[in-house]
Chains A and B, each alone.
Chain A
Amino acid sequence: MIRVDGVEKAFAGKRTLGPVTLDVPAGRRVAIVGPSGCGKSTLLRIVLGLLRPDRGTVTIADTLMSDLTKRALRRKVGYVVQDGGLFPHLTAEGNVTLLARELGWDDRRVASRVDELSAMTGLGRETLSRWPVQLSGGERQRVSIMRALMLDPDVLLLDEPLGALDAITRARLQRELVGIFRALKTVILVTHDVPEAALLAEETVVMHDGVLVQRGTIDEMIRAPSSALVADLLGGAR
């Protein structure tokens, strides 16, 4: 479904990412974990075409990411950032339905899709009519997920989606995400939280200093870490 091939990226002459090669088959839920600054968010931004790699290619659903294809590809991919990235000048519902309305969906189609997503995230009509500043952190994240899923994309990319939440809200939303992710096809989740990766993804990729160092399930990696670094990183999980 998503193929990253030999991608490299340098900032100010210093290579911060790569070379990275990563294949995520359709229907797989993959977590990317690693310490902050390891390049995991950069990798995600390259997958979305928000950053252009210095070298290498990204392919989504057999289409090569380029300036010509990136807009169409982005519509097949949902994207959720740390504190939601909601547009403050639009209501929650306005955020969720923005793209669909731009694409000319009629009111009935928009309303029925919003109802489906409301049922999935548990956000009511009243909450959806509010402005982003009037929502709690957890509600903002749910709205952001609804916005990402509005067009029923093949892939969902999440960049530390629960990073800005308090512990209780975070735990509750993690449990809900298990259910939401099950209903989806392909998920790439970037997190620095190993238990969250274990809970939400079938497979985990460990990144360090811009390169992938090990791939597998959390259990496998804890049993047989490829390096002291992986053992260190996963040590917190037990």
Chain B
Amino acid sequence: MRRLLAVCVALSALASTGRAIGGERVTLGSKAFPESWILGEALAIVARSSGAESEHRANLGGTEIVHAALRAGSIDAYPEYTGTLRDVILHAHDASTEEVRERLASVGLGVTESLGFDDSYAIAVNRAVARRDALRSLSNLAAHPDLRAAFSHEFLGREDGWPGVRARYGLALSDVRGVGHALAFEALIANRADLTDVYTTDPEIVRQDLVVLEDDRGFFPRYDAVVIYRLDLEERAPGVLKAWRRIIGRVDRAAMARANAAVALDHRSVSDTAAGLVQDALGGAQLVPDVDPQRARVASIARDLLRHVQLVAVALAASVLAGVPLGIAASRRVRVAVLVIGGSGVIQTIPSLALLAFLIPVVGIGVLPATIALFLYALLPIVQGTCSGITGIPAPLAASAEALGLTPFAKLARIELPLALPSILAGVRTSGVIAVGTATIAALVGAGGLGDPILEGIALRDTTLILTGAVPCAMLALAVQGSFALLERVVVPRGLRVRTHAE
């Protein structure tokens, strides 16, 4: 503890002097798993030690999102793996290190040497299953086509993942499912699956007592950990790059696995663990400080909730402002209705991750893409509610309104909108409840909200942490539902609610 304090004091002293001199500023990103958070945080700490201001936007989602954020300039650097660079980003499996460097440079990106360890793919099985079927290597799998595999979606989709393994080893497993990486371990523990993909620094290998199958035909490429960064940092933050070079090559596999276990299994905070990793790499003693992560988390629930409400409120308000006029337009002409309702329906079917991946190159990461995505998802119920509210006005009423000789605006404002109000409000309420649930995706693009504890909890397999986000989220949905019921009582004209018939 005292040692951590010393490091912090030393670093902040460096930082305060450095800031006065350099004025450099970098933003780190990281993917949605602990190792990436720890490395991202470690790079931020090292940058700060050089006197720069640094920010770490952790837990941004998968490779596509983090890399798009880097290309868009929303972040300046993030920890990456050489295998991913070749296969996912450059689609050049056999590219040499020089070619990788050249191709990245052509889009303004640079890459460091290995941080000092590799985190390659491997396939692991339950020890009991390994013993039963005498499994030691991937070749052994060929004789057991009935084994059940639960692979992460990324592993299933990547050329250097399952498709490649299957082809190289001639495997034909009958039961292969795609699940979230963290959930795959749950499936193995519950004996619902026999195999999953792991990383070689995965702390779960130790915790779940898994057997890593030997890659006897040398299929998996090495996933050396590197830092990928925007080349303009050489101009903007040469001090930061210089500081990073001090830990390049000095983080070993054992230290990384320990750090992963500290965060994922012992629930240590990422920043303390990263500080320990940095100190370790720079030659200090190993250091795992004890802090109470719960206390920090409780304090941040309020912040996450507030951000969540803010995201939903802004997106919903924008959806009402755009959706009601669109609904009115759709109620006027069938062709417009087909276009508008069909269009917002199509948006509804785009998976949120895909939508965010489209948005990041245009608007970067953070609150803006999250709000735009929520806005788009909220449109359909509002447009539909408005359109069907107006077109659902009974024919004699519509004829009477027309026959009175009201101006089009008066007819809309005095007759159509008040009569359609219950239907419009029902649409807004539906959108609101959906938006509260959907806003958890904001965490994928670093916009915060209640998705933060949920995503972290899933990655750490920490149910308490998941509930920390999920429970307030559910209560918020109920609150939205309830407040719209109240709002309806206040704003819907009494004549549409009174049901007493005085004959």
Contact = CB atoms under 8 A, between A and B. Distances in A.
Interface of A: 45, 48, 50, 71-75, 77, 79, 81-91, 98-99, 102, 130-136, 144, 147
Nearest to B500: A134
Interface stretch (B108-116, B134-142, B193-201, B406-414): B406-414
Given A81-B396, A133-B495, A134-B502, A102 B414 contact: yes
Nearest to A135: B502
Given A71-B405, A88-B419, A134 B400 contact: no
7 contacts: A50-B403, A79-B403, A81-B400, A87-B401, A99-B405, A132-B495, A135-B502
Interface in B376-416: 396-397, 399-407, 410, 414-415
B418 interface: yes
A73 B400 CA distance: 15
Nearest to A88: B495
Interface in B415-439: 415, 418-419, 421
Contacts of A134: 498, 500-502
B132 interface: no
B499 interface: yes
Q: Which of B396, B397, B405, B421 has the most CB of A within 10 A?
A: B405
A133 B414 contact: no
A85 B405 contact: no
Given A87-B401, A89-B418, A102-B407, 10 more contacts: A45-B399, A72-B405, A83-B396, A84-B396, A88-B496, A90-B493, A90-B495, A98-B404, A134-B501, A135-B502
Interface residues of B, number: 27
B2 interface: no
Contacts of A85: 396-397, 399-400
A73 B496 CA distance: 31
A79 B500 CA distance: 27
B235 interface: no
B419 A87 contact: yes
Nearest to B418: A89
B495 to A, nearest CB: 4
A133 to B, nearest CB: 6
A131 B500 CA distance: 10
A50 B396 CA distance: 12
Contacts of B397: 85, 87-88
Contact of A82 (B396, B407, B501): B396
B498 A133 contact: yes
A163 B198 CA distance: 78
A133 B405 contact: no
B494 interface: yes
A102 B410 contact: yes
Given A133-B499, A134-B498, A136-B502, A102 B400 contact: no
B503 interface: yes
Contacts of B401: 87
